[in-house]
Structure 1
């Protein structure tokens, strides 16, 4: 009997491939469901009734999604598995489009909760919220302590000129979605360019490190860090800057983009910075630049979503309010840079 296939994943073909590559791994018919969609890679939960796995593949009909994306994500998880950084156990990478129509990889399913909003965190209570957020900082320190060469990731990125390249990249992204006047965004971009800090020694960088990209177990420990599609070798303080940004209150109760900052017990950004500095031994004195850069990057991402909304290319609720958020992010970026 043929399985009911979630969109983009032929379970019979997946089963055949797993049986060929990992004989004995699967012990019954596969069933599966799509966990999340959107503009990033697609994630499926798959089970044979006994064991569970996760399958990741590029978005449907996304012509630019190449095997490189899957290979890169699988490579970093494979490299970090067995280090102090919790990641799911990798099962296999398939770069052959003929199996399910695109490259994909399989990893173990990890039980845990991604906390996305202050309200979700509030349910944990102040002490557990505090512990979870501090564990997030400690895990980031562990990630940045991994020696890229020892992990087989010496050629995983080009750390020289990393910040300059990042700033230019996001400037180009902004230009690609410009269809309205945005007060202050060019000023913010230029000010960031004028005050580039000197980067510390490069590390593996996650690229989108925040609470809802980790799974927290029932014991409040971080069970897995997920979503490695932006990872590379670069300046570790970009990860800290983004984490600090997501830990700052937006001041917008009805925002479609949430930070976790309002939850009772959530440590203040300064405590996160001090804990990271003390545990990593890195100089965090330029963190205002990295946090302002995170505000700029998010402003550009949100403007891109708003741009697609104005063209009628977004599906779902909440997109009509994204455009109003962009000036708030720009203002936060300018204020943060001036305070630095």
Structure 2
């Protein structure tokens, strides 16, 4: 039977024999072995590996050229490994590997966590006002715990440069966007993003708190345990984690959280709408709980929300470049031709005060 495009892409992700040999050395032999690609994510690749009577998870970057540190899975492993003995819920880490000869990239292995990710719809067991409220509270309280980690005690004192983090974020995502534009502007341009970039550079707060930050904290990067009431049992996708400004994490979370008054999503493939139902906290209520939980005021909220949407646009444009270069089979990537301009429009609405908190 001829090899399909999806088969060819999977072959680029993993050398089955080489991975089997690696896992045999690390975990011991297994009488069953199978690998399945998890297709719900859109950044790093996630592979579920059946290894005897257990299932482990392998994380690796996508194949092909990537922008700078946008897919640093070893960084992701390090922070999760450091958090094993804290009250931040993370998967149990197993082993990391920087030998690209095995599957063609760095990768790491972690244990599987049992539960549900609320990506496109709420679970029926959570469809009550009390449980909906609790989902928002669990989400905010866990973010607060991340920001309260004593990063020196857990060995992450050299994990980043918290001074000047926010200014560097603006510059870094501008550079990521320019990397994408090298290819995508031949197809279509998004000049509105240049205006957003200029506004962000002019509006960077002069100072900020300094904590561990997740970098991609949102509802579909956490997992809730089976059963009810909602209990958050896992935080995933730590590839962007560093030491920096916790308000950037809150702005990012809010960029994905929808209120009943909101217009249609800019990227419906990524933005769930079920939290617009009665019982879920509003964005403002999430902010108020975070401020109460951390005793930190969410100052410059318009800047942080604009920065979040700008980052989304940059990610989308990087996805679009990978699509144009044939380095992804993700069906969402070609849609970025239209979605990124919509995100640029949303960022300008926030800047102009037309999309309030």
Short-chain TM bin: 0.7 to 0.9
| Contact preservation (8 Å) 1:12, 1:30 | no
SS at match of 2:57: strand
Query: Residue 157 of structure 1 corresponds to which residue in structure 2?
Result: 160
Query: Kindly tell me: are residues 72 and 288 of structure 1, through their superposed partners in 2, closer, same or farther at Cα, counting changes over 3 Å?
Result: same
| Contact preservation (8 Å) 2:251, 2:308 | yes
Query: Residue 71 of structure 1 corresponds to which residue in structure 2?
Result: 74
Tell me whether 1:292 sits opposite 2:306 in the alignment.
yes
Query: Residue 296 of structure 2 corresponds to which residue in structure 1?
Result: 282
Tell me whether 1:257 sits opposite 2:265 in the alignment.
no
Q: CA deviation at 1:153?
A: 0.4
**C-alpha separation in 1, matches of 2:269 and 2:161:** 34
Query: Residue 126 of structure 2 corresponds to which residue in structure 1?
Result: 124
1:60-119 CA distance string (max 9 Å, x none): 3457799x92321111110011211101111111222344443321111101221112x3
Query: Residue 33 of structure 1 corresponds to which residue in structure 2?
Result: 36
1:116-174 CA distance string (max 9 Å, x none): 12x34577314323322221111000000001111100111112211111111222233
**C-alpha separation in 1, matches of 2:46 and 2:169:** 27
**C-alpha separation in 1, matches of 2:26 and 2:328:** 38
Query: Residue 194 of structure 2 corresponds to which residue in structure 1?
Result: 186
Query: Residue 217 of structure 1 corresponds to which residue in structure 2?
Result: 225
| Contact preservation (8 Å) 1:31, 1:48 | yes
**C-alpha separation in 2, matches of 1:94 and 1:256:** 32
**C-alpha separation in 2, matches of 1:275 and 1:191:** 29
Query: Kindly tell me: are residues 121 and 150 of structure 1, through their superposed partners in 2, closer, same or farther at Cα, counting changes over 3 Å?
Result: same
TM-score where L is the length of structure 1: 0.85
Tell me whether 1:325 sits opposite 2:339 in the alignment.
yes
Root mean square deviation, CA, Å: 3.1
TM-score where L is the length of structure 2: 0.81
**C-alpha separation in 2, matches of 1:309 and 1:93:** 28
Number of aligned positions between the proteins: 333
Query: Kindly tell me: are residues 307 and 252 of structure 1, through their superposed partners in 2, closer, same or farther at Cα, counting changes over 3 Å?
Result: farther
Query: Residue 350 of structure 2 corresponds to which residue in structure 1?
Result: 336
SS at match of 1:32: strand
Query: Residue 208 of structure 1 corresponds to which residue in structure 2?
Result: 216
Task: Judge which range, 193-202 or 94-103, deviates more.
Answer: 94-103
Q: Which residues of structure 2 form unaligned runs of 5+?
A: 1-9
| Contact preservation (8 Å) 2:42, 2:330 | no
| Contact preservation (8 Å) 2:63, 2:327 | no
**C-alpha separation in 2, matches of 1:167 and 1:64:** 15
Query: Kindly tell me: are residues 169 and 29 of structure 1, through their superposed partners in 2, closer, same or farther at Cα, counting changes over 3 Å?
Result: same
**C-alpha separation in 2, matches of 1:335 and 1:124:** 33
Task: Judge which range, 252-261 or 234-243, deviates more.
Answer: 252-261
Q: CA deviation at 1:252?
A: 2.1
Q: CA deviation at 1:195?
A: 1.7
| Contact preservation (8 Å) 2:140, 2:289 | yes
Greater RCO (Cα-Cα under 8 Å, separation 6 or more):
2
| Contact preservation (8 Å) 1:192, 1:289 | yes
Query: Residue 239 of structure 2 corresponds to which residue in structure 1?
Result: 229
**C-alpha separation in 1, matches of 2:243 and 2:269:** 31
Q: Which residues of structure 1 form unaligned runs of 5+?
A: 1-5
**C-alpha separation in 1, matches of 2:293 and 2:103:** 44
Q: CA deviation at 1:49?
A: 3.8
Tell me whether 1:244 sits opposite 2:254 in the alignment.
yes
Query: Residue 3 of structure 1 corresponds to which residue in structure 2?
Result: none
| Contact preservation (8 Å) 2:24, 2:30 | no
Equivalences for residues 131-142 of structure 1 within 5 A: 131-142=134-145
Query: Kindly tell me: are residues 248 and 309 of structure 1, through their superposed partners in 2, closer, same or farther at Cα, counting changes over 3 Å?
Result: same
| Contact preservation (8 Å) 1:73, 1:229 | yes
**C-alpha separation in 1, matches of 2:326 and 2:34:** 34
